[in-house]
Amino acid sequence: DAMVIQNPRYQVTQFGKPVTLSCSQTLNHNVMYWYQQKSSQAPKLLFHYYDKDFNNEADTPDNFQSRRPNTSFCFLDIRSPGLGDAAMYLCATSREQGLLNEQFFGPGTRLTVL
């Protein structure tokens, strides 16, 4: 089945130690999104790629970066994780940019910062 895959499902890192989360998709969608969801809160968009074009949300901290080396893969890099970055990180895709394109979400990676 075509899907959005996130690895690992659970990631533990140490305060200040860089960490990379991975997302891949078999849907061949043009757009890939990264959302952050803290405990008991709603998901919040960090940034998205439309093809190779990176679109950062205005309030996304500089500590968060992303790479999309090809259509299928997208990475979320946290350069110096703080305790406040502990959250579920959700990757999503859509066929095209724009309102009328359903977003397909992966299962998420739960990040713990010690």
Partner 1 sequence: DAKTTQPTSMDCAEGRAANLPCNHSTISGNEYVYWYRQIHSQGPQYIIHGLKNNETNEMASLIITEDRKSSTLILPHATLRDTAVYYCIVLIESNTGKLIFGQGTTLQVKP
User: Which residues sit at the interface with partner 1, rule CB under 8 A?
Assistant: 4, 31, 33, 35, 41-45, 48, 50, 55, 57, 90-92, 94, 97-108
Mapped to the 3 state alphabet, what secondary structure does the chain carry?
CCCEEEECCEEEECCCCCEEEEEEECCCCCEEEEEEECCCCCCEEEEEEECCEEEECCCCCCCEEEECCCCCEEEEEECCCCHHHCEEEEEEEECCCCCCCCCEECCCEEEEEC
Residue (of 3, 5, 8) closest to 111 by Cα position: 8
C-beta of 74 vs 90, nearer to partner 1: 90
- Please say which residue, 35 or 64, places its beta carbon nearer to partner 1: 35
Closer of 19 and 90 to partner 1 (Cβ): 90
Least distance in angstroms from the C-beta of 23 to partner 1 = 11
- In the complex with partner 1, the residue whose CB is nearer, 2 or 79, is 2
Please state the closest distance from residue 77 (CB atom) to partner 1, in A: 20
Residue 109 C-beta: closest distance to partner 1, Å: 10
Residue 51 CB, nearest distance to partner 1 (Å)?
13
